Structure 1
Amino acid sequence: MSQQLGGQPILILKEGSSRTRGRDAQSINIAAAKAVAAAVRTTLGPKGMDKMLVDTIGDVVITNDGVTILKEMDIEHPAAKMMVEVAKTQDDEVGDGTTTSVVVAGELLKRAEDLLEQDVHPTVIAHGYRMAADKAIEIVKDLAIDVKPNDADILLKIAGTAMTGKGAEASKDKLCDLIVRAVTMVAEEDGTVDLDFIKVEKKVGGSIEDSGIVEGVLIDKERVHPAMPKKVDNAKILLLNAAVEFKKTEVDAEINITSPDQLQMFLDEEERMIRGIVDKIIASGANVLFCQKGIDDIAQHYLAKAGIFATRRVKKSDMEKLSRATGATLISSIDAISPEELGFAGIVEERKVSGEDMTFVEQCKNPKAVSIIIKGGTEHVVDELDRAIEDALRVVEVALRDKKFVAGGGSPEVELSLRLREYAATVGGRAQLAIEAFASALEIIPRTLAENAGLDPIDILVDLRAAHEKGQKTAGLDVNTGKAGDMLAQGVVEPLRVKTQAISSAAEAAVMILRIDDVIASSKSAGPSPEEMAAMGGGMGGMGMPPM
């Protein structure tokens, strides 16, 4: 990039910087974004395929989850990175629909490219896309159906839709049941759910069917002393965030011991201090102790003699869950221990799970924290199960929060496409072209669902459009029969927010990429330039080399 001034070139950009302008820049950015969309497109829908991602050290991830694929792929191109952001936003907001949002964004850009070739200005397309996105969200909200927080049937279907097409499908009913039970247990009265209180523990071993739910908390710790009871019924639980060991002096004091008796007295005093702490714990009536810090050997012995079940170095997050599940207060000082601070659980027991000792805290009166154990044959299976369950939990939570859902299976997209075309006709002008392009772009979803199921996308689209023109608003693709079917009746449903978020973030990303007409990339220079070297120390001579 240089200007001629009286025959003298003026360099503005550093040497080696590259600059792409105008249509070239747009084509390159759109191509990069389309490539990202193409990478995840085959994973969409109930018959979508999985991707195997191998990182630099050879770790393998096998997944169907759009955002996981994009995070694991090392994406370099700046426009492609913007597409990954779309998926991340979708994941943070709703947890599902990441592939949908990226595929729609890619298709919006592809349609925009056709318009650019017809010399429609990018800002006109951007304006039309914005209008279309606003209108689309308005239409989707009209399509939405209310869900009541106690309507377990619909929630099961919503969880099921989020899990379909992932590795968990074989035992979907079982897992969806666990998910809905877990979410409804920790839900507050107003329908809000804090998913932090649902702990998902992964264990390799057994099969997916062996997964279960613990109505309480599961802690990856064993008791500290073998003489302690393995199982405590009617547990009175003390949660302690203080070390059960003697306090060392904070002051740097030197103690001169001159005779063995003095040393013995010193040691006896230490033991007495620990006895005092243990006596306080016993006096409170607690028979189970969860300690966030350490428990001294001597203390372990006394606790075991008193028949108290104790574990140490419990994670802070687990302590908070225990507090919520059992109603115990977290105590930070030994002196604050008292009977009214204790919590209650029906059973506290140490059990082996896949060869590891874990502590189960069960039968709490009103468990506001629960744990789900998931099992599977191999590590990869368990990881993918975990991702599927994570998505399903988030989706059920969103459905409870917004209390609205829509039919899935490509039905909202076909309906939107139809209604947006009608809307485009009323807008007129050049924006009409962009709105029509937006309408066509949305059809990529039913189209991809058909392709992934090995069906003819054109036949399916014709079929679906015909059904929607007859007013069947919930007609979507039934992948099993290969025809249009009523998605609502089949229980293919998703939260409204999955759709609204996907449309708005896809439109925003597409508009942002479209408006770029100039890409200026600074050079990746390996070392300092000769001019910089000269400035650093008198040319090469300054670098300690012999002068030429």
Structure 2
Amino acid sequence: MSTQLGGQPVYILREGSSRNHGRDAQSMNITAAKAVANAVRTTLGPKGMDKMLVDSMGDVVITNDGFTILSEMDIEHPAAKMMVEIAKTQDTEVGDGTTTAVVIAGELLKRSEELIELGIHPTIIVQGYRMASEKAQEILKGLAISMKPSDIEILKKIAETAMAGKGVESAKLMLCDLVSKAVTSVSEPDGTVDIDNIKVEKRVGGSIEDSDIVMGIVLEKERVHPGMPTKVTEAKILLLNVGVEYKKTEVDAEITITSPGQMQAFINEEEQMVKKIADSIIKTGANVVISQKAIDDNAQHYLSKAGILAIRRVKGSDMDKLALATGATVISSIDAISAKELGYAGIVQERKVLGDDLIFIEKCKNPKAVSIIIRGGTEHVIAEYGRAIEDGIRVVSTVLKDKKFVAGGGSPEIELSLRLRQYGASVGGRAQLAIDAFAASLEIIPRTIAENAGLDPIDMIVALRAAHEKGEKTAGLDVFQGKPLDMLKEGVIEPLRVKTQAIVSATEAAGMILRIDDVIKSAKSAAPAMPPGGMGEMGGMGM
């Protein structure tokens, strides 16, 4: 990049830097963003297709989850990276609707390109899009339906809609039941849900129908001693964040032993210390001990003789979940061990699942942490099932908090499109063109759902518009029957926040990309060239 000063060029950027500005910069950015939207567009809807992603190491991911696809793709273009950020925000906020958000953003940019060709300034387009987005939020709130957290059937339908098209159709009713049970178990009275308290364990083998929920925690551990029981009923559980072992002094000291008798006395004293700790554990009445630290051999012997099942070196995150599930207190000092700190579980059992030893802590009274075990034939299949379950968990937790949902199947987008066109007519001026473009962009969702199901998109959009013009606000596309139906009656529903967040994120990303009129790329710094003879020919440093 250079400019002229008195006939002499003045260089501003490093040699090799590049610059695109004006229409070229806008076109380049819009093209990159549209390419990202097109990459995930075919995955949308209950009949969406999957993508196979192969990384540089040859690892394979097969999925139709928009966020997973964009995360795994090695995207370099800065405008395309903004589209990935939309998916990331959508996934963080609501856990579903990532593809919807990216596809809407891509369509907004496509329509804006047509408006720019007509001579409308990008600032006017961005302003019109923002006005349309705010009006869309208002309309969506009017379309939303309130629910009670106790309405389990609605929660199941929300989970079913989120998991549609992710390969779990054969067991969707069972999985929706598992998801709703898990989320309601760990939810607080105000509806907030910490989804970290739902542990998802994936195990290859069996089929998706073999998946189950454990009202407690599953640990990838085994008993520390073969003499311990494999099953304990009416378990009284002691959680320790301290080792059951000889405690070394904090001060460095040297002990001189001059006879075998002294050595034996020293060993006996160590054993007595460990026995004292074991006795204090036994005295509490605990029959299950779970430690985050070590349990030494002598302690294992004493605990085993007392019929106690002990597990060691459990992760800190699992210890927190165990405390929530069983009601136990995690004890950090041997001196603090007492019966009142114990937790409860109906059964603690060591089981083999496809050759792996697992400890099941289940039938807890009021667990605030639970586990879902997912089964499947291969690692790739089970990974996709896991993503489907996690989407279900996220959307159910979202609707529990907000207590608002809307019809799915493209129904809100068609209603918004009609209402925004009416709003645009009332605004007038050049902003109306941007609002109309926004309204038309929203129709990309039902259009794409139709295309991915092998239906004629034009016929479907016309039929949906006709239904909504008659006042059927919840009419959406049933891809299985190939016609508009009442999505509420069909049980196709989504959390309100999935739609509002998707529209807000798409509008912000499209606006940011449209406002860019200059792309300046710095030259990559190259390593200094080595002379042919290496270091020896660089010459000495002059003295």
Q: What TM-score bracket applies, with the shorter chain setting the length? A: over 0.9
Equivalent residue letter for 2:242:
A
Where does residue 74 of structure 1 map in the other structure?
74
1:384 aligns with 2:376: no
Q: Distance in 2 between matches of 1:251 and 1:546?
A: 57
**Residues 164 and 246 of structure 1, relative CA distance in 2, 3 Å threshold:** same
Counterpart of 1:407 in structure 2 is 407
Q: Which residue of 1 aligns with 2:280?
A: 280
Q: Deviations over 1:306-355 (max 9, x none)?
A: 11000000111111111111111110000000111111111111111122
1:211-241 superposed Cα distances (whole Å, 9 cap, x missing partner): 0011111111111000001111111110000
Structure-1 residue corresponding to 2:469: 469
**Residue 361 of structure 2 aligns to a residue in which SS?**
strand
In the alignment, residue 270 of structure 1 is paired with which amino acid?
A: E
Corresponding position of 2:139? 139
Query: By how many angstroms is 1:188 displaced?
Result: 1.7
Give the whole-Å Cα distance in 1 for the aligned partners of 2:276 and 2:218.
Answer: 30
Structure 2 SS opposite 1:545: helix
Partner of residue 210, structure 1:
210
Structure 1 residue 194: deviation in Å? 1.5
Q: Is the 8 A contact 1:130 1:507 kept in 2?
A: yes
Provide Cα deviations, 1:249-274, integer angstroms capped at 9, x if missing partner: 22222211111111111111111111
Runs of 4+ in structure 1 over 3 Å off: 539-544
Query: Per-residue deviation at 1:90?
Result: 0.2
Instruction: Give unmatched runs, 5+ long, in structure 2.
Output: none
State the shift of 1:443 in Å: 0.4
CA distance in 1, matches of 2:255, 2:39: 70
Work out whether 1:264 is the aligned partner of 2:264. yes
Q: Deviations over 1:484-524 (max 9, x none)?
A: 11111101100000000000000000000000000001011
For these two proteins, the number of residue pairs brought into alignment is 540
Residue type at the aligned position of 1:140 = L
**Superposition map of 1:437-516 within 5 A:** 437-516=437-516
Residue 545 (1) aligns with residue 543 (2): no
Q: Is the 8 A contact 1:157 1:492 kept in 2?
A: yes
Which residue matches 1:106?
A: 106
Distance 2:260 2:534 in 1: 70
Aligned equivalent of 2:322 = 322
Query: Structure 1 residues 243-252 or 79-88, which shifts more?
Result: 243-252
Shift of 1:285: 1.0
What's the counterpart of residue 22 of structure 1? 22
Describe the superposition over 1:260-315 as per-residue Cα deviations: whole angstroms up to 9, x where unpaired: 11111111111111111101101111110000001101111111111100000011
The aligned counterpart of 2:337 is 337
* Cα-to-partner distance string for 1:33-62 (whole Å, 9 max, x where unaligned): 000000000000000000000001011000
- 1:545 positional shift: 2.0
Aligned to 2:149: 149
Amino acid in structure 2 at the alignment position of 1:203? R
Residue 166 of structure 1 corresponds to which residue in structure 2?
Answer: 166
Alpha-carbon contact 1:238-1:328 (below 8 Å) kept: yes
Q: CA deviation at 1:373?
A: 0.6
Letter in 2 for 1:545: E
The SS at the match of 2:225 is coil
Which range moved further: 105-114 or 478-487? 478-487
Distance across 2 between alignment mates of 1:347 and 1:156 = 28
Q: Aligned letter for 2:374? A: I
Structure 2 matches for 1:235-254, cutoff 5 A? 235-254=235-254
Q: CA deviation at 1:368?
A: 1.6
SS at match of 1:350: strand
Greater Cα offset, 79-88 or 474-483 = 474-483
Q: State the AA in 2 paired with 1:45.
A: G
One-letter amino acid of the structure 2 residue matched with residue 186 of structure 1? V
In the alignment, what sits opposite 1:353?
Answer: 353
Alignment of structure 1 residues 303-322 onto 2, 5 Å: 303-322=303-322
| In structure 2, C-alpha distance between the alignment counterparts of 1:437 and 1:426, rounded to whole Å | 15
Partner residue, 2:10: 10
Query: Residue 33 in 1 paired to residue 43 in 2?
Result: no
Q: Quick check: 1:541–1:547 contact (8 Å CA) kept in 2?
A: no
CA distance in 2 between counterparts of 1:76 and 1:120 reads 30
Question: Over residues 437-490 of structure 1, what are the superposed CA-to-partner deviations in whole Å (9 max), with x where a residue is unaligned?
Answer: 000000000000000000111111111111111110011111011111111110
| Partner-residue secondary structure (3-state), 2:537 | coil
What SS class does the counterpart of residue 381 from structure 1 fall into?
Answer: helix
What percentage of residue pairs aligned between the two structures are identical? 73
Counterpart secondary structure, 2:52: strand
The 1:547/1:315 distance shift into structure 2, 3 A limit, reads: closer
Q: Deviations over 1:179-200 (max 9, x none)?
A: 0111111122222211121111
Q: Is the 8 A contact 1:162 1:395 kept in 2?
A: yes
Quick check: 1:352–1:358 contact (8 Å CA) kept in 2?
A: yes
Q: Is the 8 A contact 1:325 1:368 kept in 2?
A: yes
Q: Give the drift of 1:27.
A: 0.2
Other structure's SS at 2:429 match: coil
Partner in structure 1 of residue 430 of structure 2: 430
Indicate the SS of the match to 1:167.
coil
**Alpha-carbon distance in structure 2 between the residues aligned to 1:236 and 1:517:** 67
- Whether the 8 Å CA contact 1:149–1:400 is kept in 2: the answer is yes
Q: TM-score, normalised by structure 1?
A: 0.97
8 Å contact kept, 1:540–1:547: no
Contact 1:16-1:525 within 8 A present in 2 as well: no
Structure 1 pair 358–542 and aligned structure 2 pair: CA distance change class (3 A): closer
- Once the two structures are TM-superposed, the CA of residue 6 in structure 1 deviates from its matched residue by 2.1
Amino acid in structure 2 at the alignment position of 1:401: K
Alpha-carbon offset, residue 363 of structure 1? 1.6
Q: Deviations over 1:104-151 (max 9, x none)?
A: 000000000000001100000000000000001110111000111011
What residue in structure 2 maps to residue 394 of structure 1?
394
In 2, the alpha carbon distance for the partners of 1:460 and 1:141 equals 26
Q: Which residue in the other structure is 1:117 paired with?
A: 117
SS in 2 for 1:430: helix
Q: How many angstroms does 1:541 deviate by?
A: 11
Aligned to 1:536: none
- 1:6, 1:34 → 2: CA distance? 44
Higher alpha-carbon deviation: 146-155 or 87-96:
146-155
Alignment of structure 1 residues 174-189 onto 2, 5 Å: 174-189=174-189
* Cα drift, residue 525 of structure 1: 3.0
Amino acid in the other structure paired with 2:226: P
Tell me which moved more, 26-35 or 280-289. Answer: 280-289
Between the aligned partners of 1:390 and 1:50, the Cα distance in structure 2 is 18
CA distance in 1, matches of 2:511, 2:29: 12
> Any unmatched runs of 5+ in structure 1?
534-538
